[in-house]
Structure 1
Amino acid sequence: MNYRHAFHAGNHADVLKHIVISRIITLLTQKDTPIAYLDTHAGIGLYDLQASEASRTGEWLEGIKPLFDTPNPPALITPYIDIIKALNISNTLRYYPGSPTIAKVLMRPQDHIILNEKHPEDSLVLKKNFKHDGNTTIHCQDGWLLPKAVLPTKEKRIVVLIDPPFEQENELELCVKSLTESIKRMRQAIVIIWYPIKDQKTLNHFYNSLKQSNAPKLLKAELMIKPTDNDLGLNGSGMIIANPPWKLESELLSLLPFLTNVLTEDTGKWQINWLIEEVSTVTKK
Structure 2
Amino acid sequence: MNYRHAFHAGNHADVLKHLVLSRILALLARKDAPYAYLDSHAGTGLYDLAGTQASRTGEWLQGIDRLWQADAAPALLTDYLNAVRAFNPDGRLRYYPGSPELARRLARPQDRLHLNEKHPEDGALLKDNMRGDPRVAVHLGEGWQVPRALLPTAEKRVVLLIDPPFEQADELSRCVQALQEAIGRMRQTIAVIWYPIKDERQLKRFYQDLARSGAPKLLRAELLVHPADAAERLNGSGLVIANPPWGLEDELESLLPWLAGQLAQSQGNWRLDWLIEEQKSR
TM-score (normalised: structure 2): 0.97
- 1:177 alignment partner, SS class: helix
CA distance in 2, matches of 1:265, 1:81: 21
Determine the structure 1 residue equivalent to 2:229: 229
Determine the structure 1 residue equivalent to 2:184: 184
Shift of 1:257: 0.6
Shift of 1:201: 2.0
Shift of 1:267: 1.5
Aligned identity (percent) is: 59
Q: Deviations over 1:146-190 (max 9, x none)?
A: 100110000000000000000000000000000000000110010
Determine the structure 2 residue equivalent to 1:168: 168
Shift of 1:252: 0.3
Determine the structure 2 residue equivalent to 1:107: 107
Letter paired with 2:193: I
Shift of 1:278: 7.1
Letter paired with 2:143: G
Letter paired with 2:106: L
Q: CA RMSD in A?
A: 1.1
CA distance in 2, matches of 1:173, 1:241: 16
Shift of 1:231: 3.2
CA distance in 2, matches of 1:152, 1:2: 31
- 2:109 alignment partner, SS class: coil
Letter paired with 1:108: R
Matched, 1:272 2:269: no
Worse-superposed segment, 121-130 or 270-279: 270-279
CA distance in 1, matches of 2:202, 2:265: 25
Letter paired with 2:263: L
CA distance in 2, matches of 1:117, 1:142: 7
**Contact map agreement 2:13 2:236 (CA 8 A) in 1:** yes
Determine the structure 2 residue equivalent to 1:210: 210
Letter paired with 1:272: L
Number of residues paired by the alignment? 279
Determine the structure 1 residue equivalent to 2:139: 139
Shift of 1:265: 4.0
**Contact map agreement 2:223 2:268 (CA 8 A) in 1:** yes
CA distance in 1, matches of 2:188, 2:73: 32
CA distance in 2, matches of 1:191, 1:84: 24
Matched, 1:56 2:69: no
Letter paired with 2:8: H
Worse-superposed segment, 179-188 or 259-268: 259-268
CA distance in 1, matches of 2:278, 2:33: 29
Map 1:233-244 → 2, pairs under 5 A? 233-244=233-244
Relative distance call for 1:188 and 1:49 in structure 2 (3 A) is: same
Determine the structure 2 residue equivalent to 1:77: 77
Determine the structure 1 residue equivalent to 2:26: 26
Q: Deviations over 1:62-113 (max 9, x none)?
A: 0000111001210001000011111102121000000001100111111110
- 2:183 alignment partner, SS class: helix
- 1:254 alignment partner, SS class: helix
CA distance in 1, matches of 2:78, 2:125: 28
Worse-superposed segment, 82-91 or 162-171: 82-91
**Contact map agreement 2:228 2:235 (CA 8 A) in 1:** yes
Structure 1 residue runs of 4+, over 3 Å off?
none
CA distance in 1, matches of 2:133, 2:173: 33
Determine the structure 2 residue equivalent to 1:282: none
Determine the structure 2 residue equivalent to 1:7: 7
CA distance in 1, matches of 2:61, 2:278: 36
CA distance in 1, matches of 2:40, 2:124: 16
